[in-house]
Amino acid sequence: MKKKILLTILCGVCLIGLTGCGMSKEEMIKESKSLNGKQLYKDLTSNFKSAKEKYEGNIYKISAGVISVEEKFAKIELSDIDFDKDYLEVHFNSDDLNKLKKGQKITFVGKISNITNSNNNFNVKIKKAYYIDDIIEITGQVNYHKADSLMIDYCYLDVYFDDKEKTKYDLGNFTKYISTNFAEISGKKIKNGDTITIKAKVEEKDNNTAYDDIWTVTEIKDIKATTSVTDDDIENDKNRQDVKEYYDTLREAAKNMR
């Protein structure tokens, strides 16, 4: 009888270890699934009971922004609607907490232990988590515009969620104008509108509001494009632009002669 009780206890201890408590960082990463905070938020607002049952007790790897760093945990963004009321309460060890700062995006791994709902304000508690790094992988569409008389230069990497919501990553510090439809981003020639993937460090854009989801890319570690750009592509684009500017000049001159 005593042997059966001891065996039951040992099995329970093993089960606890497998489900998150006592797992190392490497073990958690191996067991984790990737999770988008916006998807979690969407599921919680759609059907809280179903989402709670789906996510609680599972281990996820998440990339998201740091709202604040508290004494024993960090508040991590769950959605870009209301940082103060909807967030991930992520418990790191002291060393990991010291690596964090408000306004940066990080990647971490942890087990969702409890999800609560108070008047549609969601708190997702992750009692044990490990910081991985501050390099996130982003895949999106290049949205590039060279300044004219009415506009200023901008280059964003637009990432769409559910074909509606959009997160914008400002690539301006790493973008060099080539022609109307081509730019050089971090040393790589890119066509406007193309899909690219970057590994980068990002921080919350200055003067961001709770209703903006715009981030500044501060460092690019790697960049990959789906379309390769040749020198002929760029030269042809420049020639088209020269022709357009020539005819624009003629039209403007004709207008002034009337």
Are residues 124 and 27 part of one domain? Answer: yes
Q: Stretch 201-206: mean pLDDT, rounded?
A: 85
Q: What is the CATH number of the domain that holds 56?
A: 2.40.50.140
The pair of structure tokens assigned to 173 is 């510090």
- List all residues 6 or more positions away from 124 whose beta carbon is below 8 Å from its beta carbon: 40, 55, 78, 87, 88, 89, 112, 114, 115
Q: In the prediction, which pLDDT does 162 show?
A: 76
CA distance 186 to 221: 9
Of these ranges, 71-80, 90-99, 163-172, the one predicted with the greatest mean pLDDT is 90-99
- Shared domain check, 78 and 173: no
Q: Which residue has the higher pLDDT, 182 or 218?
A: 218
- Contact indicator for 140, 161 with CB cutoff of 8 Å: no
Determine whether 158 is exposed, middle or buried from the number of CB atoms within 10 Å of its CB (0-12, 13-18, 19+). Answer: middle
Phi then psi for 241, rounded to 5 degrees? -65, -40
Q: Is residue 94 part of a domain?
A: yes
pLDDT greater than 80 at residue 214: yes
The residue that leads in pLDDT, 88 or 257, is: 88
Summarised one tens digit per residue, pLDDT across range 234-243 is 777 666 665 4
Residue 5 lies in a domain: no
Is this structure's pTM higher than 0.95? no
Q: What is the pLDDT of residue 147?
A: 64
Q: Is residue 228 part of a domain?
A: yes
CA distance 3 to 44: 44
End-of-domain residue from the set 69, 99, 133: 133
The DSSP bridge partners found for residue 161 are 165
Pair (147, 104) in one structural domain: no
> The domain containing residue 222 runs over which residues?
137-239
Rg of the chain (C-alpha set): 24
pLDDT confidence of residue 72: 92
Query: Is the confidence at residue 256, as pLDDT, over 50?
Result: yes
Q: What is the pLDDT of residue 117?
A: 93
pLDDT at 202 over 70: yes
Is 207 part of any domain? yes
| Token pair recorded at residue 171 | 């690539």
Domain boundary among 133, 159, 190: 133
Instruction: Give residue 17's pLDDT.
Output: 45
The answer to whether residues 120 and 43 belong to one domain is yes
Residue 185 lies in a domain: yes
pLDDT band at 18 (very low <50, low <70, confident <90, very high): very low
- How many structural domains does the chain have? 2
For the chain, what percent of residues have pLDDT higher than 90?
A: 55
Task: Give the mean pLDDT of 44-63.
Answer: 96
Task: Give residue 140's pLDDT.
Answer: 94
Is 256 part of a structural domain of the chain?
A: no
User: Are residues 87 and 177 both part of a single domain?
Assistant: no
How many angstroms separate the first and last alpha carbons of the chain? 107
Cα-to-chain-centroid distance, residue 37: 9
pLDDT of residue 80: 62
| pLDDT tens-digit map of 122-175 | 999 999 999 999 999 999 999 988 765 555 678 999 998 876 678 899 999 999
Who wins on pLDDT, 170 or 245?
170
Mark whether 88 and 47 lie in a shared domain. yes
